Structure 1
Amino acid sequence: MFARFAELAAARAGHTAIRAFFTPRAGTWEARFADDQPAYARAVGRMGLRPGQTAADVGCGTGRALPALREAVGAGGAVFGVDLTAAMLRSAAHEHRDDTASLLLADACRLPFADGALDGLFTAGLLNHLPDPRSAVREWARVGSPGATLALFHPSGRAERAARHGRPLSPDDVLAADNLRPLLETSGWRTTCYEDAAEYFLTLAVREP
């Protein structure tokens, strides 16, 4: 019981920190990163989604991937944008992203979907913000159908982001290939692509049966 209480307390503290960081930034997020939209569309295009499928942007923020996800699955598919910060979802709605997707307030590690419900999961810059990446990746495997595609994306590469923050690349970075591949492949995913280019980061993985 005490272990469970400690787990819940840690999760709540993590939620508070994430919301404290993103809430004051939500109103200007879209304007700051508007130029990234084509990169999001290209990353979604690499997922191989088909009309009629179901996809989610986990940690969607202002929902920049949602229009591309909708285009990929068509009118007969389903698209969800999930975020922990209500202010980000309000900004997504302000950008009319709720016209193309259902917006859900939820934890990336406790998604409101049934087992095997999703054919595609897209995340952008999320894994580094999570206190327990392994739990998140396992949860994404739970909601992914056999053969589902997971896309881990960022519109800039790891080196560029490290330089922007005035720090060297860390071997402990969860997105480093030596860390990310084992994390995925012991959590129900098979890595099919790892690209850490100067102008973007993209890893694709397929849900194992």
Structure 2
Amino acid sequence: MADDHTHVQDFFSARAADWDRRFPDDGPAHAAAVGELGLRPGDAVLDAGCGTGRALPALRNAVGPGGTVLGADLTGEMLDEALRAGREASGTLLLADVARLPLRAGALDAVFAAGLISHLPHPGQGLSELARVVRPGGRLALFHPIGRAALAARHGRASSDDDLRAEPRLTPLLADTGWRLDAYTDKDSRFLALAVRAG
């Protein structure tokens, strides 16, 4: 497992300094996806795999000053960029593996995860841990600012039903890890899967 994590850390460490410049227009898409998470003032929410923390301001706006916003990432360089951008003003940053979070069971109302699932070495373990820290009835948003086909094309590949984010694969994976898929959108302009923590 350490080798899997090293690969992910190396990938993102090398890209951290340029991350926000490479994707400068993603902010509104993140904010729109956060808006569909159903957060209320005072809620506690985690941005899992927060990277440079681009979703943290939208999450803070959603939960208000009395809410709790956490951003967890495995890569210190990404969190350094979040600090440079001043995004710690919107939430607490944690250097942590989303498969082993330093949170008590049921502590959160929701999890936002942008681009996370395809970078989890063991997706089932990661989604199970996210379910552990969310209360029954809480929500999960798996988000990407472009859809599966557009992302595959960006990387010179065809879209595949073997992709973890394909609905026929994602639905049972979520069900096996404590979630129920509630809504699914996969179009060129965005990918968003919303799930509810099973009771």
TM norm structure 1: 0.94
Aligned partner of residue 93 in structure 2, secondary structure: strand
| Structure 2 residue 158 is matched with structure 1 residue 172 | no
Shift of 1:34: 1.6
Task: List structure 1 runs of 4+ shifted beyond 6 angstroms.
Answer: none
Q: Map of 1:59-98 to 2, 5 A cutoff? A: 59-98=49-88
Aligned partner of residue 104 in structure 1, secondary structure: strand
Structure 1, unaligned stretches of length 5 or more? 1-10
Shift of 1:108: 1.1
1:5 corresponds to: none
**Aligned positions, number:** 199
TM norm structure 2: 0.98
Q: Which one has a bigger Cα radius of gyration?
A: 1
| Preserved CA contact (<8 Å) 2:46 2:72 | yes
Structure 2, unaligned stretches of length 5 or more? none
Aligned partner of residue 35 in structure 1, secondary structure: coil
1:34 and 1:171 mapped to 2: Cα distance?
A: 29
The share of aligned pairs that are identical, in percent, is 55
1:47 corresponds to: 37
Q: Deviations over 1:74-121 (max 9, x none)?
A: 000000000000000000011111011000000011111100011010
Q: Map of 1:1-209 to 2, 5 A cutoff? A: 11-209=1-199
Aligned partner of residue 26 in structure 2, secondary structure: helix
Which letter maps to 1:186?
A: D
Shift of 1:38: 0.1
Shift of 1:171: 1.9
Which letter maps to 1:83?
A: D
Shift of 1:126: 0.8
Shift of 1:175: 0.3
RMSD between superposed Cα atoms in Å: 0.7
1:24 and 1:82 mapped to 2: Cα distance?
A: 18
